[in-house]
Structure 1
Amino acid sequence: MNKRTRRLLTVIAAAAAALLLWAAAAPLAGVDLTVDQAGTPLTVGPVLIALASLTVGFAAWGLLALLEKLTARAGLIWSIIAAAVLACSLTGPLAAATTAAMLVLMGMHVATGGVLIAGLVRR
């Protein structure tokens, strides 16, 4: 499998991981995934999860491709940036309406980030 195909599958797998967590938590376990967006409640559903995961995945891939053109240490630099972005992203779920929703949303962030970090730079 070539690098482009592997990276595309990694981005898709990252989105799928988040959607699997959503499916287990929201429809099956009944967790209400609502967050406060500037005073307005927002329910996090499968379309939002898929779009966000795919957007982040393709942006991560693009940054890695750019770094590969600019430096010999692209994988290391990208991994550090990706880990920092993942850590920062974990503050978003803190606005969840319930503790259960916060934990599920954090799990989605970690699952998506973990798949991308492990899969995009793999040789």
Structure 2
Amino acid sequence: MSNTATASPIRQFAGGRVVYPLAATVAAVIVWLTAHSALDIDLKAKASGGDIQEIGLPLVIGVTLLVGFAAWGVVALLDRKSSSARTWWTLIASAVFVLSLLGPAGSGQGGSAKVALLCMHLVVALVLIPGFARTARKD
């Protein structure tokens, strides 16, 4: 019998990477609530085809969770395929973050909406990039 204790799969899941998509979603929701409710900013952006889309709370939650779990998948893939997973994750995620800023910068309706949407992108990146980097395989 071995003296080394191993964590159960549920504990590894709950205490590991799952926290980052959830924390990023909470951070985005806080920015949305602050902008929408506290500052009374009308969060709208130009969608494809020129239509104006309301950026509501369900959209913020859904997109942030989708991005967070997709990021988790990328980190998991990099862990399996690269001995430099942390470096690759940081480079890829930083590039995606910078590109993501083009969306709100170009399509946000009004200066306040653009700033609020950019802040949402920023807080999500500030949670996901260093969080997943911390768990990725070291170089």
User: Could you tell me which amino acid in structure 2 is paired with residue 88 of structure 1?
Assistant: L
Equivalences for residues 6-85 of structure 1 within 5 A = 6-37=16-47, 38-85=49-96
Aligned Cα root-mean-square deviation (Å): 1.4
- Uncovered stretches (5+) of structure 2, i.e. residues with no partner: 1-6
- Uncovered stretches (5+) of structure 1, i.e. residues with no partner: none
More relative contact order, 1 or 2 (CA 8 Å, 6+ apart): 1
Q: Give the deviation of 1:71 after TM superposition.
A: 1.0
**C-alpha distance in 2, partners of 1:36/1:65?**
34
Larger radius of gyration between Structure 1 and Structure 2: 2
**C-alpha distance in 2, partners of 1:97/1:58?**
28
| Corresponding residue pairs, total | 123
Structure 1 runs of 4+ off > 6 angstroms? none
TM-score, reference length from structure 1: 0.95
Q: Give the deviation of 1:24 after TM superposition.
A: 0.5
**C-alpha distance in 2, partners of 1:6/1:16?**
17
